[in-house]
Chain A
């Protein structure tokens, strides 16, 4: 494990976990939504950052995990923790299936990205029409606070669970990055043909990546449901989550251990700052805060082309000189 990235990451998460002692509930709630996106983005990062296969349709995994746990709880009375496990397993399966179709057809780059988008859209349309998913009316999980139900009356409890999940995936990512699988992922990303020539089973590596990616993002979907308790096709499979995890990873630094977490926090942080700063200035004019948000996003990319993590590395290297 590379201590350079893992320890700061764990330290950051420890600070987040300590927030319930000092911060208001609004801040805690903000951290909660950011961490759900961070977890989903960590999933994306395995496939997009390490294996280099950019996906525009991670909603497919997010929604699958969310619906799996919601359906099991509402229709079959299954326990929420078991639902989480089922969601993760199903996310991996859907990842593997999409990967099999896409990678066997040798889809790469933008083609792969667009096919994932198409799969997510197909799932959205089907989920909106099918009965098992509640159709257009969606699913409402029964409110029953209690750790056994994976529901928490206080924000703190949920925050700790999420922090734990993100930390676990952080360690997992760091561990993978420094094992052979990690090396193979990077080899496939950098030069697929050379990797194949060197004897790497490219298809198998890609399938492992997408299955793992799907599992992690599906977990985020399950936890989202446990927080909001309501799910419909647009929330589950809508493009919003695909876009957020993409932005979070690129902004934070794709292919780094800490990138998705930092990126998600930065993305949401900038959004909230824009809202708060401009709320008083703009008054009744809607959208001004989002105009500034869009501009800030462009500026962030312009000045941090390697993402926040890349910028930090550059700064640290410069300071160390």
Chain B
């Protein structure tokens, strides 16, 4: 049997990892909840965000944490533009077509990164990436603790925007009842684009938080896509608290599963949860009743 300190630290690691996954899943769940599309370009957009964060550091000397706000704004704009002028018009409102458009977009973006930056795997290499905080017998990575805090803050901020601002209310209106919202004078195309922009902004924040402890290459986003989908399903499509809680749960399950069964078989834990949630409670933990 494994010693309790080991399990405790695995749980702590899982929570830290889960917060990062949750941030990646936030954008995905928002886009699904409002636009009702499965965004296949999510991983590629994360890759672009990570290259942007890396580029800010490599070419402009901006530290990842300092880059959070400017990149979030930039990606908000990028996401808005993509949905308003590429994905929306090309899809003609059909779900199957949107899948194809986002797939095409992901191929385009990934290979654009490859063409621009080549296939080398790059890392930030700053000493700060190795800082640890000692909590009892546990050695927790400082960048990941910061990431945990910022993830929670971002989720809270996003929730506040949706609950309290006019735009947020418009987004929720369009998500619930598009026709009614339209009749109230809300432009769904604009709202869709804003939502997609918010999703991309979350990815930008996630990228800045991941960069100190991770690496960047044209495929890096793909590693997070399936786990993000799992979290969206577990938390309930369209629910922000769901994405956060779901992320933390998935992080802990992955961590404990890895500890007990080895990392490779441990991945089964994630998918088994995925399937069980879908079969037994498909709306997820916080999702609206279908």
Q: Per the CB under 8 Å rule, do A and B touch in the complex?
A: yes
Which listed residue, B38, B101, B115, touches A301 by the CB 8 Å rule? Answer: B101
A101 touches B279 (CB 8 A): yes
Complex contacts, B226 vs chain A, CB 8 Å: 117, 121
A169 at interface by CB-CB < 8 Å = no
Complex contacts, B38 vs chain A, CB 8 Å: 110, 113-114
Complex contacts, B272 vs chain A, CB 8 Å: 122
Q: Give complex CA distance A299, B90 in Å.
A: 7
Complex contacts, B162 vs chain A, CB 8 Å: none
Asked, given contacts A111-B233, A122-B272, whether A287 binds B115 with beta carbons under 8 Å apart, the answer is yes
Which listed residue, A105, A243, A302, touches B90 by the CB 8 Å rule? Answer: A302
With both chains docked as a complex, state the minimum distance between the C-beta of A223 and any C-beta of chain B, in angstroms.
25
For chain A, residues 228 to 268, give those with C-beta under 8 angstroms from any C-beta of chain B.
243, 246-247, 250-251, 254
For chain B, residues 13 to 29, give those with C-beta under 8 angstroms from any C-beta of chain A.
none
A305 touches B115 (CB 8 A): no
The interface residues of chain B, by DSSP majority, are classed as helix
A114 touches B119 (CB 8 A): no
Q: Give complex CA distance A128, B263 in Å.
A: 13
Chain B window 80-111, contacts with chain A (Cβ cutoff 8 Å), 1 for yes, 0 for no: 00000010011110111101110111111111
Which bracket fits the contact residues of B?
35 or more
A107 touches B282 (CB 8 A): yes
A297 touches B267 (CB 8 A): no
For chain B, residues 168 to 225, give those with C-beta under 8 angstroms from any C-beta of chain A.
218
B89 touches A122 (CB 8 A): no
Which listed residue, A105, A107, A129, touches B265 by the CB 8 Å rule? Answer: A129
Complex contacts, B90 vs chain A, CB 8 Å: 298-299, 301-302
Complex contacts, A293 vs chain B, CB 8 Å: 107-108
B275 touches A298 (CB 8 A): no
Residue of A nearest to B114 (CB): A287
A285 touches B275 (CB 8 A): no
Residue of B nearest to A56 (CB): B38
B111 touches A291 (CB 8 A): yes
Complex contacts, B135 vs chain A, CB 8 Å: none
A254 touches B115 (CB 8 A): no
Q: Which residues from chain B sit less than 8 Å from chain A, CB to CB?
A: 32, 36, 38, 86, 89-92, 94-97, 99-101, 103-115, 118-119, 218, 226, 229-230, 233, 237, 264-265, 267-268, 271-272, 274-275, 278-280, 282
- Known pairs A297-B103, A299-B90; list 17 more (Cβ under 8 Å): A105-B282, A110-B38, A114-B233, A114-B274, A117-B226, A243-B103, A251-B100, A286-B119, A287-B110, A287-B112, A291-B111, A294-B107, A294-B111, A297-B107, A298-B100, A302-B90, A305-B97
Q: Can you report 5 residue pairs joining A to B where beta carbons are below 8 Å apart?
A: A105-B279, A243-B103, A291-B115, A298-B104, A301-B101
